[in-house]
């Protein structure tokens, strides 16, 4: 499953992982594939399977579906 890099960046920022944001912006491609880039996502503390399950249904707008992933 693919997600925009900005969704991953937004997730990291909302988790308070500012130390990982700059690195993620450089390391991640514009389109992040949860299978192909699983190692990269794990490097930033994101479980690719969890990400796919939480964001899959809510890709309609910026940040859609992040609430469930963040537990808010």
Question: What does the pLDDT profile of the chain (72 residues) look like in tens digits?
Answer: 889 999 999 888 888 888 899 999 999 999 999 889 999 999 999 888 887 666 654 444 444 444 444 443
- Length of the chain, please? 72
Backbone angles phi, psi at 33, to 5 degrees: -95, 125
Predicted local confidence at residue 36, as pLDDT = 93
Predicted local confidence at residue 1, as pLDDT = 85
Residue ranges of domains in the chain: 2-70
Backbone angles phi, psi at 69, to 5 degrees: -70, -35
Predicted local confidence at residue 58, as pLDDT = 47
Predicted local confidence at residue 32, as pLDDT = 94
């Amino acid at each position: 499953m693919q997600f925009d890099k900005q969704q991953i960046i937004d997730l990291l920022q909302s988790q308070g992982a500012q130390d990982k944001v700059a690195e993620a912006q450089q390391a991640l491609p514009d389109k992040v594939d949860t299978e192909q880039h699983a190692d990269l996502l794990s490097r930033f503390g994101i479980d690719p399977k969890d990400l796919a399950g939480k964001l899959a249904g809510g890709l309609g707008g910026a940040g859609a579906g992040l609430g469930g992933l963040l537990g808010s």
